[in-house]
Amino acid sequence: MFRGVAMVWISVCSVFACAQSPADVSSQASPLRVILQFNTPGPYSDTAFLKELQTQSHAQVRYIAAVSGDTHVYSVQPDAGQSQTVLLQRLGRMPIVIHVEVDQKATAQ
Amino acid sequence: MSCRKTLSAVALMLAVTSVTLVASAQITMQPEAQRMGQSRSPGRAFPGSTSPAVATPARMSRLIIKFKDEAAAGAGTRISSQGASSGRERIAALSVSGKLAYLKSVTRQTHVALTRQPLTRAEMVSLTRQLAQDPRVEYAEMDEKAYPHFAINDPLYNTATMWNLQAPGLYAGGANLTNAWNRTAGGTPISGAGVVIAVLDTGYLPHADLTANFVPGYDFVSDPTDHDPVPGRDGDASDPGNWNADATIADCAVQDSTWHGTRVAGIVSASANNHTGIIGAAYGAKVLPVRVLGACGGYISDIAAGMYWAAGLHVDGVPDNTAHITKVINLSLGASGACSSTFQSAVTAVRGAGSVVVASTGNDGSLNTVTQPANCAGVIAVTAHTSTGVSPSYANVGPGTALSAPGGISYQSGPVDGNAIFATANTGTTVPVADAYAYGSGTSFAAPHVAAVAALLFQAKPTITPDELQSRLTSSARAFPSGLYSYCDGKTTCGAGLLDADAAIALVQADTAPYTQASANRPNPVARGVAVQLTGVATPGAGSSMGTTISSVAWTQIAGPAVVITGGNTTVASFTTPAIATASDLLVFRFRATSADPVSIVTMTSDSLVFVSLAPFSTPPPLPPPPPPSGGGGGGTMQWGELLALLALCSSVWVMRRQSGTTPNQRQ
């Protein structure tokens, strides 16, 4: 019974998400790697901080790794319908964040 | 003294005087360390070889002097206008002829002369400079012995397979490493010894030609889709392979494993003279493997983290790298777009920590754009050239490109005239299987040449700053070849030119040597039996680091009748000229200054010479008649008592002889 309801709910959500997704709007399929530079070193992998980050960005946030003392990289799964641009703007609006950018890939040359 | 001897002596004195008047006033030598200890040392033993090392400065006596064309020399010369004068006559006509003897002719204008006595390299340099000032002389240089370069026993090394390391005389695009390796720093061959180069790439393989030069690295790849059996960051920087068999992955070509990091590491520091494979450009350097690229590349965040860590800076969640802090970071990788804030921050931080960052410009064939991080401020961006020194079509150039290094050209079915870069690899197409060597091309393989040379420069001058190092690399670069197929000829977007390891080291070593001047307080010829003051001035080289000081000075007599130098370890010394006749009338003193770097153990020396010629010795005039006894004062005058005692003694001897009827000499 529960399984059936869940499947229906997921299906409805999926349909809704697809219908709402223009190119810039993220889908549930691909979380984004985002690099955040903070104004000071700190415990930016703490659960409490991640919750706050999640609240501010309206996205699922998972800590990946440190880049340096003040720079860290996160996996960010935007809420359905939220564009990448809006997501980055929301993260960048946080007072402790001094820079935000998408974590690009480099290749051997 | 016969008339002939007198005339000869006068002529010799005139010749010597003319030399020494010039010499004592202004001779300043090139740094001896650059020429001796720190420069090429023919016959030097290569590590592992059996050739004897050159431990002490050799003396030499052969000079090559090329005279200008007589017609061009103009009036006023003493050279016969009737055809070419003989070398003997021309050398005899020189102002320093008293120090030289004609040996043989090389050409009509070029002759070999011998110095009257063997001289050190510093003295020979001084002499050649004096000669070069003569309007009749086109140039003068030491006639040095040539030695075969040290024997490299790495079986796959030869000038064709490793054109990239050769002198420009062999390959216009060669990075001139083979000459650079003949230099020494502090008595140690220039090889990158003592320097750690971080290779941020796909990781390393324990290749037999590399393992001796690896130090423990770190794996920064945080991508869980990687082939790493233990995903995430950890202390295992080995390369699990970066193959991709899935054509559906966006921006990730289907490919076999490339062993890219192992290739780059081999270019940098494959072991030398180990009877195995090839030789790395900085064969004495250690490689810190930092794995930042996995299958389908690597994230900027991981690369930046690897940069911080390699330079000894803290990265949360990773043990600090305190054991093998790198001075050179090689990034044979790139991403499109402007320099990201993350890259720029990392570059700025590691450069501030004293490390240089070398990055490849990319293989997109762009003429106006280079990839990041090569386009970040503070990065030494390296494009590629072929064995002929021209820019291949794949190599990105554009604003920010610092210089070019060997990168070879692409090939389809095999190396084209050896025009690719030969490096360590592996036979595995997915996971590693067996050691191998392979050709490849790309700016990826150009950057490690520069990284290796940077390591050589750090060895030559451990306190060199990143700014200074970059300046020396670009200042010493050779011009791109001209011609129809040389796009980079005259284009600043291609950087300063072709990497030249030997020239770069020469520049650094010349910079760091102290500057010396020396003089005597009496003009030549100097009278006999008088005191002469020698004054030396020593200052650290213009390119020396802050805090470099002159650690010692020393005066040494290197020629002429021996005299006692007082204050020989101070800038102002003195001696007294011989009062008696001497075999030689020329005294030569060397003022040597040694500068010490406050941090490193590297010392540099520089010499200046002072020539002091003695006035001709003349026979002392007859002694004046003894003054009449004055009865007082005046040393040497007998007192009355002494005179009486002497008379009594003489009388006693006379009486004894009379009594014995013999003399002391007759006794047996």
Query: Above 90 in pLDDT, residue B606?
Result: no
Distances (CA, A) of B297 to A92, B268, B291, B338: 27, 21, 11, 18
pLDDT digits (tens, 9 = 90+) for B536-563: 999 887 666 666 788 899 999 988 899 9
Instruction: Pick the closest to residue A104 from B286, B299, B88 (CA basis).
Output: B299
Q: What CA–CA distance (Å, rounded) separates B615 from B612?
A: 10
Query: Above 50 in pLDDT, residue B285?
Result: yes
Mean pLDDT value across residues B588-614: 80
Q: Does A37 touch chain B (CB under 8 A)?
A: yes
Amino acid at position B501, single letter: A
Q: What CA–CA distance (Å, rounded) separates B60 from B239?
A: 53
pLDDT at B147: 44
Mean pLDDT value across residues B284-296: 97
CA-nearest residue of chain A to B295?
Answer: A107
Query: Above 50 in pLDDT, residue B258?
Result: yes
pLDDT digits (tens, 9 = 90+) for B49-89: 222 222 234 567 888 898 887 654 443 333 333 334 578 88
CA-nearest residue of chain A to B304?
Answer: A67
Query: Above 60 in pLDDT, residue A60?
Result: yes
Question: B188 vs chain A: nearest CA distance in angstroms?
Answer: 34
Instruction: Pick the closest to residue B439 from B428, B459, B423 (CA basis).
Output: B423
pLDDT at B241: 97
The residues of B carrying an active-site annotation are 201, 260, 444
Q: Which of B299, B309, B357, B370 to probe the A interface (max A CBs under 10 A)?
A: B299
C-beta of residue B346 within 8 angstroms of C-beta of residue B304: yes
pLDDT band at B311 (very low <50, low <70, confident <90, very high): very high
pLDDT at B463: 85
CB contact under 8 A, A37 and B341: yes
Q: Does A35 touch chain B (CB under 8 A)?
A: yes
Q: Does A40 touch chain B (CB under 8 A)?
A: no
Query: Above 70 in pLDDT, residue B319?
Result: yes
Instruction: Pick the closest to residue B375 from B353, B394, B360 (CA basis).
Output: B360
CB contact under 8 A, A104 and B305: no
pLDDT at B88: 83
Mean pLDDT value across residues B242-261: 93
Edge to edge, the sheet with strand B572-576 lists: B515-520, B531-539, B572-576
C-beta of residue B361 within 8 angstroms of C-beta of residue B382: yes
- Which residues, 6+ apart, have CB-to-CB distance to B621 below 8 Å? none
Question: A2 vs chain B: nearest CA distance in angstroms?
Answer: 32
CB contact under 8 A, B301 and A73: yes
Question: A15 vs chain B: nearest CA distance in angstroms?
Answer: 24
C-beta of residue B263 within 8 angstroms of C-beta of residue B228: no
Mean pLDDT value across residues B422-444: 96
CB contact under 8 A, A73 and B360: no
Q: H helices of B170-259, where?
A: 177-180
SS3 B298: strand
CB contact under 8 A, A109 and B363: yes
| Mean pLDDT for all residues in chain B | 81
pLDDT digits (tens, 9 = 90+) for A3-47: 444 344 434 333 333 334 444 554 554 799 999 999 999 999 999
| B223/B315: higher pLDDT | B315
Query: Above 80 in pLDDT, residue B436?
Result: yes
Question: A100 vs chain B: nearest CA distance in angstroms?
Answer: 9
Q: What CA–CA distance (Å, rounded) separates B307 from B343?
A: 9
Q: Classify the complex by whether its ipTM is higher than 0.85, answering yes or no.
A: no
Helical (H) or strand (E) element with B329: strand B328-331
| B297/B643: higher pLDDT | B297
Query: Above 90 in pLDDT, residue B121?
Result: no
Mean pLDDT value across residues B156-185: 92
Q: What CA–CA distance (Å, rounded) separates B313 from B328?
A: 14
- Torsion angles phi and psi, residue B372, rounded to 5: -90, 145
CB contact under 8 A, B363 and A64: no
B615 by Cβ neighbours in 10 Å (0-12 / 13-18 / 19+) ranks as middle
Q: Which of B255, B291, B300 to probe the A interface (max A CBs under 10 A)?
A: B300
- Which residues, 6+ apart, have CB-to-CB distance to B467 below 8 Å? none
SS3 A47: helix
Query: Above 80 in pLDDT, residue B634?
Result: no
pLDDT at B642: 52
Q: Is B133 left (phi over 0), alpha (psi -120 to 50) or beta?
A: alpha
Mean pLDDT value across residues B29-37: 27
DSSP for B489-508, written as a single string: TT-GGG-S-B--HHHHHHHH
CB contact under 8 A, A66 and B315: yes
CB contact under 8 A, B298 and A104: no
Q: H helices of chain A, where?
A: 2-19, 47-57, 84-92
Q: What CA–CA distance (Å, rounded) separates B391 from B494?
A: 9
Q: What CA–CA distance (Å, rounded) separates A96 from A36?
A: 10
Question: B471 vs chain A: nearest CA distance in angstroms?
Answer: 25
CB contact under 8 A, B316 and A69: yes
Query: Above 60 in pLDDT, residue B22?
Result: no
Tell me the residue length of chain A. 109
Q: What CA–CA distance (Å, rounded) separates B259 from B277?
A: 17
Of B251, B297, B342, the CB nearest to A101: B342
Within 10 angstroms of residue B570's Cβ, the number of other Cβ atoms is 14
Instruction: Pick the closest to residue B23 from B493, B624, B612 (CA basis).
Output: B612
Backbone CA torsion sign across B193, B196, B202, B208: positive
Query: Which chain B residues are within 8 Å of A37, Cβ to Cβ?
Result: 341-342, 345
Query: Which chain A residues are within 8 Å of B306, Cβ to Cβ?
Result: none
pLDDT at B229: 87
Give the tokens for residue B52: 């004897």
Q: Which of B134-138, B288-292, B343-347, B625-629 has the lowest mean pLDDT?
A: B625-629
Averaging pLDDT over each range in A26-30, B226-230, B624-628, which range is the top one? B226-230
Q: What CA–CA distance (Å, rounded) separates B435 from B431?
A: 12
pLDDT digits (tens, 9 = 90+) for B388-403: 999 999 999 999 999 9
pLDDT at B160: 85
Within 10 angstroms of residue B565's Cβ, the number of other Cβ atoms is 17
